Chain A
Amino acid sequence: MTTADNSTVIDVDRLEQLADIMLPTAHGMPSASEVGAVNSYLDEVLGWRDDLRQPLFEALSALDPATFTVERLSAFLAEDENAYTALTTVVAACYYLSPVVRDRIGYPGQVAKTYDPFAYTEWVAEGLLDPVVERGPIWREAPE
């Protein structure tokens, strides 16, 4: 359980059950619970986005894991958009914080890269722009 200042208690087990239906084991990817997404990252995510706690609580109150399906989730959007957004945002954020998942999709995060700022001379020399230049000006003359 994780508890907020306003005593809104998030039922982690219940959230994990929903998350496993939203993000199940399939197509070579692990489920949410297999990577411990909710258990490992929920506090962190709600620490960053405390505004999601209350609507997440409401989503968990409204959705029963025993009968929950992806189709039910789609219908839930129309019933309570804020709660839907909180649930999908929290589940996705927890899952894609997992290093296992990031490694599987090839995502290192938004990392810094170095490059040669003069490398453009190579593709210019190669002639990549030549067809554009050879067609000539395309701007429209305008009277002063």
Chain B
Amino acid sequence: MTYRADVLIIGAGASGGVAARHLAEHGFDVVCLEQGDWPDRSSFPGTRPDWELAIRRDWAMSPNVRNRPEDYPVVHDDSDIEPLMYNAVGGSMIIYAGTWPRMLPSDLRVRTLDGVADDWPIAYRDLVPYYNAIDRQIGVSGLAGDPAYPPHDDYPLPPLPLGVAGRRVAEGHNRLGWHWWPEPNAILSAPYDGRRPCVQRGVCTSGCAEGAKASTDLTHWPQATAAGARLITGARVSQITIGPRGLATGATWLDHAGVEHHQEADVVILAANAVGTARLLLLSADDRFCPDGLANSSGLVGRRLMMHPFSVVTGWWDDQVEGWQGHFGASITTYQFYETDADREFVRGAKWALSPVGGPLNHILPMRAGNEVWGPDHHVLMGQTFGRGASWAIFGEDLPEKYNRVELDPDRTDSHGIPAPRVTYRISDHSRRLMAFQEERATESLKASGCRETAVASMIPYSGWHLMGTARMGDNPAISVVNSRQQAHDVANLYIADASVFVTSSGVNPTCTITALALRTADLLVQNRSEQKVPA
């Protein structure tokens, strides 16, 4: 007899982990299929001398560079930004920076307020209880009272250190009369829930060996499995299967050896990021019900991909600030240029986060701002910059465009022969105006903070950490893929928990909102369980 779970979750990253824990703790029989494996913290490179070499290959953020068996290639020849991700239990949280901003009320109402894109079918108020709950689950370090946000619960832990650079830029903003605030980070500043605090090693984006940076392999999966959830790793899903009534019946998956399996379930939750989820929906086309892709009667599956154009403005002081050290999340942030200003040539704005600059190789073989210099001048450059800098990392709000999309590539496949996703993405003229303005202001910021030199790395291609929008949320099935509960309009027992459902991108790092939405979706599923349609 085939085993059928109450809920099948595809993907064990941010949204999958949060949903699994909540559902399992509320009595659901949960199975999760994850194509990666459990991360082995002893293998993380940040404490090793080859750290800066490792992040250029085995620990690259691009699956195409990393090229591990659990990765799938992402074809991005026709994209201004390269999609980045990590496939493992914990997902891309393994390599994210850990900054933990919430969205703002205006982020969910851009059509009403600014006449662009679309409003979300939910409001900021709907997210607040889930933001608060998630902050406690993962242990956010921060300081309440930021006037850039409506008042909300205090964070469970005190803010991480400002560092020398953070302090200087904070003072610079005070001189300019500009906003700044200590950044909330999903990184522990003190022991919490059995985990150790951050040691300021500055290697967050290649895995936190201390386990201070939150990822669901630490913060949710142990609790989920203790509550009975079953997590199957090395399980690559090839298709969501559909029954005779058009409901999802489970998923077909392949193990490491390529042996095919099928997992049945009453409810399927996709949690595979906005590239992986769109890919799976397109792979699950069924001539009986959905020839153009599962849940795709609107034609919007894969479309409206948003990735946040990303620029870095780096400043260097005359003296040492240990610019290689400190949490890579961010020490301080500013929302000075976040909200729309009618005097500018664009609407919406950007959030900035102040980060370390990295070790020696990042200075001379820069992945962000700076130039390669060889010969005698190399030593001059290093003498003037190494350890003396900090970078504003700037994410601009990325408005959705139908032409930015994920499709199935006709030629490339993953190691199991499943078609790879192909990403087409263009940074819009609007985004270019927005980012140019932000880069100029960030340069002013660093000069006002005493920096001798500044450099701009504008709209870096290798920056697609934030994958959003390919299965948008909405009340109207003709122009959206899921409803406000993140339930597919076309398939009543299919939910999408990841950032595919984002209607707009906001200008903030998305993981905080991804997890809040996943918790909300799981919570509403618990509340409405008696009404849930399931296969016969």
Contact = CB atoms under 8 A, between A and B. Distances in A.
Interface string A78-104: 000000000011001100110000000
B174 A123 contact: no
Contacts of B386: 105-107
Interface in B330-369: 335-336, 339-340, 359-361, 364-365
B93 to A, nearest CB: 20
Interface in A118-139: 118-120, 123-124, 128-129, 131-133, 135-139
B145 interface: yes
B108 to A, nearest CB: 7
- Please classify how large the interface on chain B is, using the bins under 10, 10 to 19, 20 to 34, 35 or more: 35 or more
Given A24-B375, A105-B382, A142-B108, A112 B200 contact: yes
B125 interface: yes
A138 B147 contact: yes
B162 interface: yes
Contact of A139 (B104, B108, B174): B104
Nearest to B123: A144
B98 to A, nearest CB: 16
A57 to B, nearest CB: 17
B179 A132 contact: yes
B526 interface: no
**Central interface residue in B53, B113, B123, B339, by most chain A CB within 10 Å:** B53
Interface in B46-68: 46-47, 49-54, 56-57
A61 B347 CA distance: 53
B374 interface: yes
A66 interface: no
Contacts of A96: 359-361
B158 interface: yes
Contacts, number: 168
Residues of B contacting A: mostly: loop
A29 interface: yes
A110 B340 contact: no
Given A27-B380, A29-B379, A123-B167, A139 B161 contact: no
B148 A128 contact: no
Contact of A133 (B145, B190, B364): B145
A125 B191 CA distance: 24
B317 interface: no
Interface residues of A, number: 52
B73 interface: no
A106 B167 contact: no
B243 interface: no
A86 to B, nearest CB: 11
Interface in B65-116: 104-106, 108-109, 112-113
Contact of A110 (B173, B180, B324): B324
A21 interface: yes
A28 B202 CA distance: 28
A51 interface: yes
7 contacts: A48-B53, A93-B52, A97-B49, A115-B200, A117-B190, A129-B181, A141-B106
The 3 lowest CB-CB distance pairs between A and B, nearest first, are A26-B376, A112-B199, A142-B105
Interface of A: 21-24, 26-29, 44-45, 48-49, 51, 70, 73, 88-89, 92-93, 96-97, 105-107, 109-115, 117-120, 123-124, 128-129, 131-133, 135-144
Interface of B: 46-47, 49-54, 56-57, 104-106, 108-109, 112-113, 123-125, 141, 143, 145, 147-150, 157-162, 167, 170-171, 173-174, 177, 179-182, 189-190, 197, 199-203, 210, 320, 324-325, 335-336, 339-340, 359-361, 364-365, 372, 374-376, 378-380, 382-383, 386-387
Given A22-B378, A138-B148, A139-B150, 15 more contacts: A29-B379, A45-B50, A93-B53, A105-B360, A105-B382, A106-B386, A112-B210, A113-B200, A117-B189, A120-B161, A123-B162, A128-B170, A138-B336, A139-B149, A142-B123
